Amino acid sequence: MRHRYLLAIPVFNEEAYVRPVLAEARERVADVLVVDDGSTDRTGELLTKAGVAVVRHPENRGYGASLVSAFRHAITHGFDWLITMDCDEQHEPAFIPKFIEAAETGAYDIVSGSRYLDTFNGDDVPPADRRAINVKITRMLNERLGWGLTDAFCGFKAYRVSALSRFNITVPGYAMPLQFWVQAWRAQLRIEEVSVRLIYNDPTRHFGGMLDDPASRYKHYVEVFEHEMCRGWSCQATPNCGASVA
């Protein structure tokens, strides 16, 4: 019997996209959860009519906090797999079956989307700073954790729900993937990447605050990674702990 899948979509002020994305997503997955991270536009109103499960944050808590809410919902409601995707049309619901196919093999705990594993006709060109930071962070993860990732930051993923209890995500914002990858490595989870299209509909979208500065954003990502590598044990006793920001 095939596993039970939950598709979770974190949103913050996505009134322009939420209806078409949900309409297409529900053609692929029966159970859909939207985490409304304190939207102040019409997103919340539109969700009341969408016929999907909704978790609402009373204020904007951040991308990482939204995923924690999705993790908790998937565990509490007894799903086997959680798939996450964004709501800005940069993740295509048409690719969801690729994640399910990989999950159904039983060989992996995390199936992570990659925008750089393969190329597709019509792929967009990402903003230069985003691509450069992704390359540097992905290289750092591979060197320090012994992996062969091609995309450290793609939020299009599938998680085996039984593995989610092994995570303790405390980073609420966009640096959450750095904490996630270290904890997945510590838990010795089995990782597989699947290719997805590279889409940047709105290259002017910003991260907010200091993260809008590429140098500050990169420095923050590395600091989160180093903190997580050293958390709970001595840096001196940990061979992979302690690289500097380059």
Write the pLDDT tens digit of every residue in 198-228.
766 665 665 566 667 889 999 999 999 999 9
Burial of 180 (0-12, 13-18, 19+ CB in 10 A): buried
Please give the pLDDT value at position 231.
82
Please give the pLDDT value at position 130.
82
Write the pLDDT tens digit of every residue in 116-135.
987 767 666 676 788 899 99
Residue with more model confidence, 124 or 88:
88
Phi/psi for 193 (5° steps) reads -100, 145
For the entire predicted model, the pTM comes to 0.89
Which CATH class, in words, describes the domain spanning 5-206? Answer: alpha beta
| 42 CA to centre of own chain | 24
Phi/psi for 140 (5° steps) reads -60, -45
How far is the first Cα of the chain from the last one, in angstroms, to the nearest whole number? 49
Q: Where are the domains of the chain?
A: 5-206
Please give the pLDDT value at position 244.
33
Please give the pLDDT value at position 129.
83
- The amino acid sitting at 86 is D
Write the pLDDT tens digit of every residue in 223-243.
999 999 998 554 433 444 433
Ramachandran sector of residue 146 (left: φ over 0; alpha: ψ -120 to 50; beta: rest): left
Cα distances (Å, whole numbers) of residue 23 to 30, 99, 157, 158:
11, 19, 19, 20
Would you state the structure tokens that stand for residue 223, as one six-digit string?
Answer: 């600091």
